Amino acid sequence: MARVYREGDIGNEIAQKRIAVLGFGSQGHAHALNLRDSGCEVTVGLYRGSASWPKAEEAGLRVAEIPETVRWAEVVMMLLPDERQPPVFREQVAPNLAEGNLMLFAHGFNVHFNQVSVPPEVDLGLVAPKGPGHVLRSLYEEGKGMPALFAVGRDATGQARDLVLSYAKGIGCARAGVLETTFAEETETDLFGEQAVLCGGLSALLKAGFETLVEAGYQPELAYYECVNELKLIVDLIYEGGLARMRYSVSNTAEYGDYTAGPKVIDEGVRERMREILADIQSGRFAKEWVLENQAGGSSFLAMRRREAEHMVEKVGAELRALAAEGAQSPAGSPAGGES
């Protein structure tokens, strides 16, 4: 089994360093607040006029513009959206890094696909929490942690490895477990996971199930409850105790259908296309497409976002969530349900 680092395996080197967290979005707010609550000295780096600036100040953090923040810091974590990082890195970060600094990323895309180039006298590392930033923060507040990957891209000082691990501990990830990887492995598996399974595969599976029922004449609301809403309950069981825990909790009928129908849905054709998706990631073809898409102003990306938002599954879901929210506000046990 791969070595999983826990809190006891890791030192507190990070608490001795001045840390710049660039960006205050999903990951940025979680890193900055978790590090601060772990006793670290943090400044958030943003641009004047950023909507995030007042949010970071309200959270009690010091905020400054990126060049100034990088000059002050010894450890810099880049948490801007991946597609915004290259010009900001080139113009505002790289010129202000000093020999012996540690430059960190939370996803390897721009380093692995050569969209940024970190100066040779600067250490390079990766700390990639395996989950959304808001969950990274809430787990930390509950005294728990989110698992993370770490990698050392360059260790010019000889201290990078300990410091990268210590950063992962500072954001709470060593409470769950931290696993060593490389920029290549993290980048390729992260892109594959989100495309084939977590985001792309799952959204397409949910929509296909929903549409199949609706096309067959069943009520859309019922199709939504069955194919989308119930997923959370199923995933919670898998998260708790694997597929076995889910299969223990569902009926024997559901379990039997799982074994017989699952392989018909995800058949060899799907596996073959998953291998093609992986090959496009490994060859850099996906990266090139995404970089060019952004250079073109994201016109296809924004069109797809708009079209997907208008899908019937989203409209039905929004209506049902609004009803559930109304229900939750009405007094418990009230026979009238609080409705007029």
CA distance 31 to 103: 15
> Chain centroid to CA 317: how far?
23
Does position 108 interact with ligand NDP (CB under 6 A)? The reply is no
Q: How many residues bind ligand NDP (CB under 6 A)?
A: 24
**Is 107 marked active-site?**
yes
Burial of 262 from C-beta contacts in 10 A (0-12 / 13-18 / 19+): exposed
| Pick 151 or 237: Cβ nearer ligand NDP | 151
Give the strands of the sheet with 102-105, arranged side by side: 4-5, 178-180, 148-154, 123-129, 102-105, 75-78, 18-22, 41-46, 62-65
Please choose which of ligand NDP, Mg ion, none residue 132 contacts, taking the beta carbon within 5 to 8 angstroms, the exact cut-off set by kind. Answer: ligand NDP
Span near Mg ion by CB under 5 A; candidates 45-53, 57-65, 67-75, 189-197: 189-197
CA distance 336 to 340: 8
Span near ligand NDP by CB under 6 A; candidates 24-32, 116-124, 158-166, 212-220: 24-32
Are the C-beta atoms of residues 35 and 21 closer than 8 Å to each other? yes
Q: What is the DSSP string of 30-63?
A: HHHHHHHHTT-EEEEEE-TT-THHHHHHHTT-EE
Q: Residues 107, 112, 134, 311: which is the catalytic one?
A: 107
- Draw the binding track, 37-66, toward ligand NDP (x: CB under 6 A; -: no contact): ---------xx--xxx-------------x
Which tokens belong to 81? 């959206």
| Pick 24 or 140: Cβ nearer ligand NDP | 24
| Contact residue for Mg ion among 110, 178, 190, 224 (CB under 5 A) | 190
Span near Mg ion by CB under 5 A; candidates 147-155, 194-202, 290-298, 313-321: 194-202
Are the C-beta atoms of residues 117 and 132 closer than 8 Å to each other? no
Q: Report, in Å, the least distance between residue 5 CB and ligand NDP.
A: 18
Which residue has the closest beta carbon to ligand NDP? 25
Catalytic residues: 107
Question: Which residues lie near ligand NDP (CB under 6 A)?
Answer: 23-28, 46-47, 50-52, 66, 79-82, 84, 88, 106-107, 128-129, 132-133
